């Protein structure tokens, strides 16, 4: 279907200090904090005005392939108990895949099944893990090739270190959700995935990326209906639990997103009853109403969108309620703990500073260098903030949040002495780690 342009979503990012974050950082469209990039904003606007929405869809897909090449704690394997089990497939985006170190709401839903006595439930799907850090390479033990033709997949990130080993051993960590993925991108691949896995229940939890990138609510309703049709083509008696779209914390790049989300959720609720059949019912899941996240405050997310430990419980409870009330699965008892421990957040260690002299230009001898600071990666970290100072001076912040376990300080004069330190960012709803030990370097 034709998609209408939403230029307002791609510009006007706030680069001022917000909620105590380091000045000069900003959020990208998914809510992660990154260094300012005015040239990126200008480029996107020029491309949008020049080429239009259709060409940009292809452009953004190519960019995604480059930035997010193709996911856990163990080599992937199918669910061992899936042959005679009630099979459940979760289809979604980053909210459902999760980030390295997350429990994920999929895990909390699995716990609810087990606590309800449903040992006969198995999760199925072609992916295994969470989204790994960008500098975490594909493990040698990971199968070659891509599980979804035409889409690069990164699903080798691990889960929280204290998840029930039975979840991993049984292969119930498998799923069909990926960071940044639109519902529209599932159209060419969902039928084959369902044909292979043969799920009894398909849980759809997607749409945020469609609304944020180029699609109008009417388009998205058509996309979700098309996914239902394609699933039925592979398994006609599939039952569905379809989540509406959550809101997110307001940010400068998406002033129209809250209203578009409200419009879509209303349209989806009206449309779902028309999609149901006796053989293949479709039921609405009120994710938005269950997930404590609004433009004015978002205690359920670690970055204004993606669920923290509380949000994982809330989303799982929303699906559990529908699965129990509409399909008779599980029980009505789903308790969210009153006290949820914070995410582990240790300071970085093993800092190393390497001085790299700048290249000569026009035959002149360079008088500057780059300091490359690296450290051991912290499992489950969302990123790192770093500071530098002249030896004995005052600490200053290196702009932006680094998603890599390294950072460069450029254009440093030769013969200077510097001190540098780093701390770990573990989400909006808890403090950053303590600062690391200080490393000294002379250029």
Domain segments of the chain: what residues?
7-66, 70-327, 352-442
Nearest by Cα to 89 from 176, 28, 17, 191: 176
pLDDT of residue 46: 34
Please name the fold of domain 70-327. Answer: Rossmann fold (3.40.50)
CA distance 229 to 280: 10
Q: Measured between alpha carbons, how far is 439 from 17 in angstroms, rounded to an integer?
A: 26
How far apart CA 324 and CA 302 sit, in angstroms, is: 28
DSSP 342-369: PPP-PPP-S-EEEEEEPPPBTTBPP-EE
Neighbour tally for 17: CB within 10 Å: 12
pLDDT score at 60: 38
- Which helix or strand (DSSP H or E) is residue 384 part of? strand 383-390
Q: And the tokens for 330?
A: 């599980």
Q: Tell which CATH classification among 2.60.120.620, 2.60.40.10, 3.40.50.1970, 2.130.10.10 matches the domain 352-442.
A: 2.60.40.10
What DSSP designation does 7 have? G
Greatest CA separation found in the chain?
79
Distance CA 305, CA 263 (A): 19
Digit-coded pLDDT (tens) for 58-77? 443 333 333 333 333 434 44
Which residues are within 8 A (CB) of 409 and not within 5 positions of it... i.e. 6 or more apart? 370, 371, 373, 388, 398, 418, 420
Please classify residue 46 by burial: count the beta carbons closer than 10 Å to its beta carbon, then call 0-12 exposed, 13-18 middle and 19+ buried. exposed
**Per-residue model confidence (pLDDT) at position 402:** 93
Apex CA 426: angle with CA 311 and CA 286, to 5°?
15
* DSSP state string for 25-38: -EE-TTS-EE---H
CA distance 403 to 334: 35
Separation CA 218–CA 91 (nearest Å): 20
What three-state secondary structure class fits 412? strand
DSSP 142: S
Residue 253, pLDDT score: 61
pLDDT by residue for the chain (443 residues), tens only, comes to 333 332 222 222 222 222 333 333 333 333 333 333 333 333 333 343 334 443 443 443 333 333 333 333 434 444 555 567 899 999 999 999 999 999 999 999 999 999 999 989 999 999 999 999 988 888 887 777 778 877 889 999 999 999 999 999 999 999 999 999 999 999 999 999 999 999 999 999 999 999 998 799 999 999 999 999 999 999 999 999 999 999 999 987 667 999 999 999 999 999 999 999 999 999 999 999 999 999 999 999 999 999 999 999 999 999 999 999 999 999 999 999 999 999 999 999 999 999 999 887 777 778 899 999 999 999 999 999 999 999 888 999 888 899 999 999 999 999 999 999 999 999 999 999 999 999 999 99
Indicate the DSSP class of residue 326: H
Calpha distance 101→98 (Å, rounded): 8
Alpha-carbon span 282 to 304, nearest angstrom: 29
Label residue 276 left, alpha or beta by phi (over 0 means left) and psi (-120 to 50 means alpha).
beta
Residues 34-53 pLDDT 10s: 333 333 333 333 343 334 44
Structure tokens at 219: 């388009």
Among all chains, which residue has been given the structure tokens 């699903």? 155
DSSP E strands: which ranges in 208-273? 239-243
In terms of pTM, does the model score above 0.85? no
* Closest alpha carbon to 420 in 383, 384, 368: 384
Strand partners for 131: 99
Amino acid 260: pLDDT: 95
Strand partners, 424: 384
Convert 62-96 to b/e letters by CB count within 10 Å (16 or more is b): eebeeebebbbbeebebbeebeebebbbbbbbbbb
Q: Is 91 helix (H, G, I), strand (E, B) or coil?
A: strand
Query: Are 276 and 284 spatial neighbours (Cβ–Cβ below 8 Å)?
Result: no
The bridge status of strand 33-34 relative to strand 26-27 is antiparallel
Please measure the distance between the N-terminal and C-terminal CA atoms of the chain and give it in whole angstroms: 57
């Amino acid at each position: 279907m034709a998609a209408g342009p939403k230029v307002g979503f791609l510009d006007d990012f706030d680069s001022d200090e917000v909620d105590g974050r380091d000045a000069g950082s900003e959020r990208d469209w998914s809510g992660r904090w990154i260094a300012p990039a005015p040239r990126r904003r200008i480029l996107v606007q020029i491309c949008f005005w020049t080429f239009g929405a259709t060409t940009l869809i292809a452009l953004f897909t190519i960019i995604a392939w480059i930035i997010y090449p193709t996911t856990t704690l163990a080599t992937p394997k199918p669910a061992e108990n899936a042959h005679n089990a009630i099979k459940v497939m979760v289809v979604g985006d980053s909210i459902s895949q999760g980030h390295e170190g997350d429990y994920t709401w999929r895990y909390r839903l699995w716990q609810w099944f087990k606590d309800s006595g449903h040992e006969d439930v198995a999760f199925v799907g072609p992916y295994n893990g969470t989204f790994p850090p960008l500098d975490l390479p594909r493990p040698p033990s990971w199968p070659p090739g891509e599980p979804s033709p035409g889409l690069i997949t990164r699903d080798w990130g691990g889960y929280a270190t204290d998840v029930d080993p039975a979840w991993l051993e049984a292969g119930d960590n498998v799923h069909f959700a990926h960071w940044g993925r639109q519902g529209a991108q599932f159209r060419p691949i969902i039928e084959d995935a369902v044909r292979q896995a043969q799920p009894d229940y398909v849980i759809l939890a997607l749409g945020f990326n469609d609304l944020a990138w180029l699609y109008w609510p009417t388009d998205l309703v058509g996309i979700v209906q098309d996914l239902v049709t394609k699933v039925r083509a592979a398994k006609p008696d599939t039952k569905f639990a379809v989540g509406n779209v959550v809101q997110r914390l307001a940010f400068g790049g998406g002033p129209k997103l809250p209203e578009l989300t409200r419009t879509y959720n209303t349209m989806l609720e009206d449309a779902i009853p028309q999609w149901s059949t006796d053989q293949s019912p479709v039921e609405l899941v009120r994710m938005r109403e269950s997930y404590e996240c609004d433009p004015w405050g978002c205690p359920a997310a670690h970055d204004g969108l993606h669920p923290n430990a509380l949000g994982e419980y809330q989303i799982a409870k929303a699906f559990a309620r529908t699965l129990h009330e509409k399909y008779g699965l599980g029980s009505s008892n789903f308790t969210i703990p009153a006290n949820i421990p914070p995410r582990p957040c240790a300071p970085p260690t093993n800092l190393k500073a390497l001085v790299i002299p700048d290249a000569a230009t026009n035959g002149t001898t360079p008088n500057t260098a780059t300091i490359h600071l690296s450290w051991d990666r912290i499992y489950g970290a969302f990123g790192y903030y770093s500071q530098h100072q002249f030896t004995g001076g005052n600490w200053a912040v290196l702009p932006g949040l680094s998603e890599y376990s390294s950072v460069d300080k450029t254009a440093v004069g030769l013969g200077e002495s510097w001190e540098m330190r780093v701390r770990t960012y573990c989400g909006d709803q808890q403090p950053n780690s303590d600062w690391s030990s200080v490393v000294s370097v002379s250029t």
